[in-house]
Amino acid sequence: GAGVSQTPSNKVTEKGKYVELRCDPISGHTALYWYRQSLGQGPEFLIYFQGTGAADDSGLPNDRFFAVRPEGSVSTLKIQRTERGDSAVYLCASSYFPGLGDNEQFFGPGTRLTVL
């Protein structure tokens, strides 16, 4: 079956603009995660959805970042008033319910966001 897909692959925007990053998880996966990978770093957790609700958004850096998953499938990460420091690769992952054993998180190819 299809893996996790993310669009766009690359996004270039100007400082102060609004951007939306989309994630399509693997069909049947109830859990969805967003991570941010800055240059030279490992991915850092941003937010976790179980179904439609954000079960943990403690990794979101500030209130300019927001994510939704209205129907429990596709998720959109929204960044308002972008800053140059937001430039990074944004990775999405999905899995079956994480509380059951060692459910593997499957990652998408990421969206590279560049803020000029």
Partner 1 sequence: AQTVTQSQPEMSVQEAETVTLSCTYDTSESDYYLFWYKQPPSRQMILVIRQEAYKQQNATENRFSVNFQKAAKSFSLKISDSQLGDAAMYFCAYRSISGAGSYQLTFGKGTKLSVIP
Judged by beta carbon, residue 5 or residue 76, the one nearer partner 1 is 5
Let me know: does 68 contact 22? Beta carbons within 8 Å.
Answer: no
Triad 16, 21, 25: Cα angle to 5°: 165
Report in angstroms how near the CB of residue 104 gets to partner 1 at its nearest.
6
Report in angstroms how near the CB of residue 59 gets to partner 1 at its nearest.
8
Using CB under 8 A, list all residues that contact partner 1. Answer: 31, 33, 35, 40-45, 48, 55-56, 59, 89, 91, 93, 98-99, 102, 104-105, 107-110, 112
Judged by beta carbon, residue 30 or residue 76, the one nearer partner 1 is 30
Write out the E strands in the chain. Answer: 5-7, 10-13, 19-24, 31-37, 44-50, 53-56, 65-68, 75-79, 88-95, 106-107, 111-115
Report in angstroms how near the CB of residue 58 gets to partner 1 at its nearest.
8
Judged by beta carbon, residue 81 or residue 101, the one nearer partner 1 is 101
Judged by beta carbon, residue 72 or residue 98, the one nearer partner 1 is 98
Question: Residue 1 belongs to what H/E stretch?
Answer: none
Count of CB atoms situated within 10 Å of the CB of 85: 10
